[in-house]
A and B are shown apart, each in its own frame.
Chain A
Amino acid sequence: MRYLPHTSEEISRMLQVVGVDDLGDLFSTIPEDCRLNADLNLPEALTEWELNDHMDALSRDVAVAPDYRIFLGAGSYEHFIPASVSHLLARSEFVTSYTPYQPEMSQGTLQAIYEYQTLAARLMGMDIATASHYDGATALAESLLMAIRITKQKRVAVSRLIHPLYRQVVKTYFEPTGFEVLELGYLENGTTDITALDDIDELAAVAVQSPNFFGCIENLQDIGEKVHDKKALFIATFTEALAYGLLKSPGAQGADIAGGEGQSLGISCSFGGPALGMLASKKKFMRSLPGRLVGKTQDLEGNRGFVLTLATREQHIRREKATSNICTNNSLCALAAVMYMSTLGGTGIRELACLNRDKAEYLKKGLKEAGCIIPFDTPTFNEFVFRFPAGGEDAYSRLLEKKIVPGLSLDTYYPELAGHYLLCVTETKSVDDMDALIREFKS
């Protein structure tokens, strides 16, 4: 086996040094009744060629562009990733290193994460950002728990227009804690209804997503003011980080914590993972942040260098009193994001974000003209909700046959919106792609 370098001669010399006769004797401390009595029942080893054929066949059994026109977003977005980003990200010095515990041998990862933290904080309009989390859903759950630690209150309120799967993760994380998660409904224009806040007390935090799950841009400023009146923390979450290339950031609108998904920033969909949990806050909450942080310092000769810092918040030191159990940061995904953000630059990210919105507007207009219903008139970014024209209820399966996936059905998540779909358009969709969808309704 090419991954195992031992020759038989080396094995016997090593066994001799260890003082045992054969490989089996190395396991003498394992009692008989703990042993596996048979061989593992797994498929026989494949050669590299066989593996290629096998995996090639499996990878072809998934519907992707250009064969399919897929208008799915809802937390996972197909954006163009430059070759330079993919190429740099594949450098094995980044890929095959560990968490940078020994900073002198890990300055590459550490400086890159410091750069990520900086650009991420600027994107979200916050003072500081962590080195990253698993995904947007867990970043939101951790943000809510963080607010509970800071305010010492027991209750949080989350908008029903936060991604339904994120709310499910929050529910899972909160289930054993005894803290309460309340949901805020939505208005006819597809934005969060915060009037219920008046009747809620002992509130630690309110979380709102913008652009929200329906794609609508929320007025975070107004919501934030009301949340602060309640002496609670205001958490802004998001699934489409690219939107902040164009839209006002959470920080600029009064968010205390911003936590969401950064997959759009140079990370492929990859069937939902790995992704990039982004988490940022005001500086005064620095010591309550969960997860890794990289800080700037100097070496013995006064040269600039970077280290993991404020580790006393973390599980390996504070154990059961840690701010979280997390020890990963999705380092390689954060690296992809900083490469992508710097590749776009300040000018490029705005242009790209505008293009996403303009394309979505083109499709929205086209569908409307073709008789589809657009239920919410609030401005959107690159996603919006629509319903097939009357009598076109079978359109979804008809479109699938034509290799078009016309968005995500809202039936399960919002039963009151049965028959509605959430559509997404990024820069990867051409006018031809969009016209193909529009044409289906014109006919």
Chain B
Amino acid sequence: MKGSIGTTGLIMNEPLLWEKGREGRCGFSLPRRDVESVPLDRELIREKLEFPDLSEIDIVRHFTRLSQWNFSVDTGMYPLGSCTMKYSPKTNERQAGREGFVIAHPLLPSGLSQGALRIMFELQQYLAEITGMDAVTLQPAAGAQGELTGMLIIHAFHKMKGSQRSKIIVPDTAHGTNPASASLCGYRSVPVKSNEQGILSAESIAEIMDEDTAGIMITNPNTLGFFEENTGEIAEIVHADGGLVYCDGANMNAVMGIVDMGRIGIDLMHLNLHKTFSTPHGGGGPGSGPVAVTKELEPFLPVPRVVKERDKYSLIEDCPESIGRVAAFHGNFGVMIKAYSYIRSMGPENLKRASQFAVLNANYIKESLKGYLHLPYDRPCMHECIFSDKDQKPAKVTTLDMAKRLMDYGFHPPTVYFPLVVHGAIMIEPTETESKDEIDQFVRAFRAVVNEARQNPDSLYNAPNKCKVKRLDEVAAARRPCLTG
């Protein structure tokens, strides 16, 4: 049987595309040639392109088999902290797949693209309402590009004020993208520690805020799963020295309809449509990272901007203060449609309930696993809770070992080793779309893994056992990189 394609009987082995191809096959119905061939200078023509030739069934089986090696939200609970793997409703895919949207050309005259522009305009309004901000751009293609857009706006703001600044405050609990985005704008990140409650204290900001600091990037709720209660006071300190307050709104899914970001002094923030607004993650993208700002910062938003005048939607580019474009066209419109559909399907009450249930689920897990895993901050959390492997140290079992073992129980592991402030962090975010039954199963599985860690650690070191492959050698991959076949 060795070398056979059968494994469990359902998961098949599958070679690489070029190991499978046979010259002379074709999987494409080439359009009928209704024009003559026109010769081209041989100097301009390439050598034969080494693409494998495959028939349609070859390709269909290839990618179907590959898909079956993936865990997904549609397969089961995917409690990656900070990633918000909530269910992606199917009707959103149907709406985004409508012919009029799919083949719409981005450079159509406004008069010929009213339906698309209206979706963008209304989505901007919805996101402004949900955040409590005044204006929104949908152009950034992802959360990290939203951050960059935010930093560019801060940079442009200070430039307009005539005094460029060199620093930006970034808490130790921030996503790695925050300092990286700031440094793309030439800002030096000034780290600040969170307090013993896992949040920022106003005093620690007051100590480092000065007139050479452009602003602060606060993730709220933060990556420890806590609401930054002192944001209002912090904003006052930052504003007093002429700085701006940026909010990484990746975790907005915890506080929709509950917190007013405008009211607590946020000047600008990004949202992740692929987290809070249910659009699928696609194995790493495409996402969408709209940026919402106050009235004061609206002139800096990227162009083109979608506006409405007398029932007509149009794109305007004449915005002298604008930071310019961050995408060739209008951003990830295909993703925007899905978020729009989600908001229209949910309505205001259900969006609020989604946040309430997300927080309920996280706190329920926190209480259910407390006593099994070390809980570094034992206080009410928002949408996610953070444990560590401290109690497993004596058995020499690590967070990674437990994560890999969870796979054998049919769950995708939580986020591991993030945030960095918790050594061996295990960050669990169930999202509101997991039921109590599903969560109870997850809790039972995690408890079983913890018991195994004590009684039979070997079962963890060798995990996973049931996946398509055993534990992979990441060291060899990085030492002698092989990036193409």
24 contacts between A and B (CB under 8 A): A10-B436, A36-B258, A41-B129, A45-B345, A57-B115, A60-B115, A93-B68, A97-B281, A99-B284, A99-B285, A111-B69, A119-B17, A137-B327, A163-B328, A175-B324, A246-B40, A247-B46, A270-B333, A273-B286, A315-B177, A320-B189, A328-B145, A335-B283, A358-B35
- Is A173 an interface residue, CB under 8 A from the partner? yes
Residues of B within 8 A of A361 (CB): 35, 38
- Is B33 an interface residue, CB under 8 A from the partner? yes
The answer on a CB contact under 8 Å between A345 and B66 is no
Interface string of B86-109 (1 = CB under 8 A from A): 011101011100111111111111
Cα(A88)–Cα(B67), bound, Å: 9
From the candidates A58, A166, A217, name the one contacting B118 in the complex (CB within 8 A): A58
Residues of A within 8 A of B334 (CB): 268, 270-271, 273-274
* Distance from B178 Cβ to chain A, minimum over Cβ atoms (Å): 8
Cα(A112)–Cα(B47), bound, Å: 25
Known: A112-B66, A333-B285. A18 touches B227 (CB 8 A): no
The answer on a CB contact under 8 Å between B67 and A29 is no
* Distance from B192 Cβ to chain A, minimum over Cβ atoms (Å): 14
- Is B34 an interface residue, CB under 8 A from the partner? yes
Interface string of A327-344 (1 = CB under 8 A from B): 111111101001101111
Known: A48-B345, A272-B330, A273-B334. A319 touches B180 (CB 8 A): yes
- Is B264 an interface residue, CB under 8 A from the partner? yes
The answer on a CB contact under 8 Å between A217 and B44 is yes
The answer on a CB contact under 8 Å between A84 and B56 is yes
Interface residues of B in 24-55 (CB under 8 A from A): 24-31, 33-38, 40-41, 44-54
Known: A297-B477, A312-B478. 17 other contacts (CB 8 A): A1-B353, A3-B346, A5-B433, A5-B434, A5-B436, A26-B356, A75-B329, A95-B72, A101-B80, A104-B404, A175-B156, A268-B102, A286-B481, A294-B483, A296-B477, A344-B27, A430-B34
Interface residues of A in 317-366 (CB under 8 A from B): 317-322, 324-333, 335, 338-339, 341-352, 354-355, 357-359, 361-362
* Distance from A305 Cβ to chain B, minimum over Cβ atoms (Å): 4
- Is B70 an interface residue, CB under 8 A from the partner? yes
The listed residue with most B CB atoms (<10 A of its CB), out of A15, A57, A119, A176, is A176
Interface string of A282-303 (1 = CB under 8 A from B): 0000100000111111111101
The answer on a CB contact under 8 Å between A10 and B435 is yes
The answer on a CB contact under 8 Å between B347 and A350 is no
Residues of B within 8 A of A104 (CB): 404, 407, 464, 467-472
The answer on a CB contact under 8 Å between B333 and A272 is yes
* Distance from A297 Cβ to chain B, minimum over Cβ atoms (Å): 4
Nearest B residue to A274 via CB reads B286
Nearest B residue to A23 via CB reads B356
Interface residues of A in 120-153 (CB under 8 A from B): 121-123, 125, 127-129, 131-132, 134-138
The answer on a CB contact under 8 Å between A305 and B91 is no
The answer on a CB contact under 8 Å between B83 and A94 is no
Nearest A residue to B403 via CB reads A102
Nearest A residue to B347 via CB reads A45
- Is B391 an interface residue, CB under 8 A from the partner? no
- Is A105 an interface residue, CB under 8 A from the partner? yes
- Is A11 an interface residue, CB under 8 A from the partner? yes
- Is A200 an interface residue, CB under 8 A from the partner? no
Residues of A within 8 A of B337 (CB): 55
The answer on a CB contact under 8 Å between B282 and A357 is no
Residues of A within 8 A of B444 (CB): none
The answer on a CB contact under 8 Å between A19 and B485 is no
B204-212, B361-369, B447-455 - the one binding chain A: B361-369
Cα(A241)–Cα(B74), bound, Å: 33
The answer on a CB contact under 8 Å between B31 and A331 is no
- Is B418 an interface residue, CB under 8 A from the partner? yes
From the candidates B91, B176, B404, B476, name the one contacting A48 in the complex (CB within 8 A): B91
Interface residues of B in 272-317 (CB under 8 A from A): 278, 280-287, 302
The answer on a CB contact under 8 Å between B106 and A271 is yes
Cα(A60)–Cα(B60), bound, Å: 32
The answer on a CB contact under 8 Å between B41 and A99 is no
Nearest B residue to A431 via CB reads B34
Nearest A residue to B354 via CB reads A4
The answer on a CB contact under 8 Å between A106 and B71 is yes
Residues of A within 8 A of B341 (CB): 51, 55
- Is B376 an interface residue, CB under 8 A from the partner? no
Residues of B within 8 A of A286 (CB): 481, 483
The listed residue with most B CB atoms (<10 A of its CB), out of A17, A39, A121, is A17
The answer on a CB contact under 8 Å between A121 and B484 is yes
The answer on a CB contact under 8 Å between B330 and A273 is yes
From the candidates A92, A115, A310, A358, name the one contacting B17 in the complex (CB within 8 A): A115
Cα(A155)–Cα(B31), bound, Å: 45
Residues of A within 8 A of B30 (CB): 348, 351-352, 355
Nearest A residue to B98 via CB reads A59
The listed residue with most A CB atoms (<10 A of its CB), out of B144, B282, B473, B474, is B282
Known: A1-B350, A298-B472. A248 touches B46 (CB 8 A): yes
- Is A203 an interface residue, CB under 8 A from the partner? no
Residues of B within 8 A of A344 (CB): 26-28, 51
Interface residues of B in 342-359 (CB under 8 A from A): 343-354, 356-357, 359
Residues of A within 8 A of B323 (CB): 172, 175
Interface string of A85-116 (1 = CB under 8 A from B): 00110111111111111111111110111110
- Is B379 an interface residue, CB under 8 A from the partner? yes
Residues of A within 8 A of B347 (CB): 42-46
The answer on a CB contact under 8 Å between B46 and A345 is no
From the candidates B14, B17, B281, B335, name the one contacting A274 in the complex (CB within 8 A): B335
Task: Tally A residues with Cβ within 8 Å of B.
Answer: 200
The answer on a CB contact under 8 Å between B132 and A36 is yes
The answer on a CB contact under 8 Å between B436 and A13 is yes
Known: A29-B226, A310-B478. A319 touches B179 (CB 8 A): yes
- Is B142 an interface residue, CB under 8 A from the partner? yes
Interface residues of A in 154-192 (CB under 8 A from B): 163, 165-166, 168-169, 171-173, 175-178
From the candidates B114, B177, B353, B434, name the one contacting A61 in the complex (CB within 8 A): B114
Residues of A within 8 A of B85 (CB): 96, 98
- Is A14 an interface residue, CB under 8 A from the partner? yes
Residues of B within 8 A of A135 (CB): 141, 327-329
Residues of B within 8 A of A314 (CB): 176
Residues of B within 8 A of A315 (CB): 144, 176-177, 179-180
From the candidates A103, A132, A349, name the one contacting B49 in the complex (CB within 8 A): A349
* Distance from A147 Cβ to chain B, minimum over Cβ atoms (Å): 15
- Is A82 an interface residue, CB under 8 A from the partner? yes
The answer on a CB contact under 8 Å between B481 and A97 is no
Known: A271-B113, A298-B473. A328 touches B28 (CB 8 A): no
- Is B360 an interface residue, CB under 8 A from the partner? yes
Known: A62-B116, A408-B107. A326 touches B51 (CB 8 A): no
Known: A104-B468, A326-B144. A269 touches B328 (CB 8 A): no
The answer on a CB contact under 8 Å between A273 and B331 is yes
* Distance from A59 Cβ to chain B, minimum over Cβ atoms (Å): 3
Residues of A within 8 A of B413 (CB): 102
Known: A178-B186, A332-B283, A355-B33. A5 touches B483 (CB 8 A): no
- Is B75 an interface residue, CB under 8 A from the partner? yes
From the candidates B23, B99, B229, B351, name the one contacting A42 in the complex (CB within 8 A): B351
Residues of B within 8 A of A106 (CB): 69-71, 283
Residues of A within 8 A of B106 (CB): 75-76, 269, 271-273
Nearest B residue to A125 via CB reads B46
The listed residue with most B CB atoms (<10 A of its CB), out of A30, A91, A293, A303, is A30
Q: Which 6 A-B pairs have the closest CB atoms?
A: A272-B329, A45-B347, A272-B106, A61-B115, A59-B100, A332-B282
The answer on a CB contact under 8 Å between A347 and B26 is yes
- Is A72 an interface residue, CB under 8 A from the partner? yes
- Is B421 an interface residue, CB under 8 A from the partner? no
The answer on a CB contact under 8 Å between A100 and B284 is yes
From the candidates A54, A121, A246, A330, name the one contacting B285 in the complex (CB within 8 A): A330
From the candidates A40, A64, A272, name the one contacting B100 in the complex (CB within 8 A): A64
